[in-house]
Structure 1
């Protein structure tokens, strides 16, 4: 049975990072579009898969996994020998990877979510940006990126010199900053961050996903 990915078609948020892993690992999948506008994700059938009524969800031959980072780890482990190796193998390298992944979740993600909400998602869905909240979010994110600048001065990617899930997790919302006129990720003040970010944004799998949206490949 082919793996099923339940998500919207828009390449942002958790659905985007799962779809990116599927592309990097060259895993065929069926895309089941969830009609968010009509609250399909809150239906009894969907809640049976994801008790919080959110996307994405995968169904791997009856094995259900929700929460995007958990899904990504599962796919990278199960298909370790396919496509891009997204997880370190030895103990010390894996510890550094988990450290980097924790940095993304505990430091980058909270700050980037505030900026994304105000700069991108609110205007996209008919809301109005609160400039004070946006400025606060940018200041908070800037302090995190100052530390990233130091980390990325030591190696090419966040967890070392290889592209891993720790980098993948950063595609959640930040790629849409530039569309909203927010260029904090490529500021000349942080050349290491800019170099890393430009490399992530020019990755062929990401460019294709962003251009076409999430589409099944099975």
Structure 2
């Protein structure tokens, strides 16, 4: 169904949607009355969410992927370059220093309400801690720590994490 032969893709009664961020935006609009308002209607609020989502896509995710690319080599027993890994970690840390400032002004990345800008971070950020990289709650960034702890304590995330652990354990 995906024109590039990839996932994710959904079929909503014949309406094919691919790419995770497009799927999330579609579902947030379609089910806006069933849970938190992830994609506000107000122009300024929506722009803040789009701004936070763009930062995640253009800066946060690429920085994390650099870490995973080099760190994954070590896990697979391939030649690992500590300097490349350290540079990627420094890049992500510098980005989180900016998040610290943003989150000092707003409770969440897209404003004062939980939104898609925050939700998009769940695609990669939780794997950092799983791989022993403690940058989301490390000392020196109390606003980032507060934000991340609040996101990971959300009931839906807690349930998803528990379900995934059961799946990995074969239960």
- Normalised by the size of structure 2, how large is the TM-score? 0.88
Look up the match of 1:37.
none
Matched, 1:210 2:124: no
Show structure 1 runs of 5+ residues with no match. 1-48
* 149-158 or 97-106: bigger deviation: 97-106
Matched, 1:143 2:94: yes
Distance in 2, matches of 1:203 and 1:144, equals: 24
Deviation string 1:135-154 (CA, Å, 9 cap, x unpaired) is 11101111111110000001
3-state DSSP of counterpart to 2:112: coil
User: How does 1:1-218 map onto structure 2 within 5 Å?
Assistant: 49-119=1-71, 121-122=72-73, 126-128=76-78, 129-213=80-164
Q: Do the aligned partners of 1:116 and 1:173 also contact (CA within 8 Å) in 2?
A: no
3-state DSSP of counterpart to 1:186: coil
Deviation string 1:189-210 (CA, Å, 9 cap, x unpaired) is 1111111111111111111112
Look up the match of 1:26.
none
Aligned positions, number: 165
Q: Do the aligned partners of 1:87 and 1:94 also contact (CA within 8 Å) in 2?
A: yes
- Higher relative contact order (Cα pairs below 8 Å, separated by 6+ residues): 1
- Normalised by the size of structure 1, how large is the TM-score? 0.70
Larger helix share, 1 or 2: 2
User: Which structure 1 residue ranges, 4+ long, deviate > 6 Å from structure 2?
Assistant: none
Residue 134 (structure 1) shift: 1.6
Residue 183 (structure 1) shift: 0.3
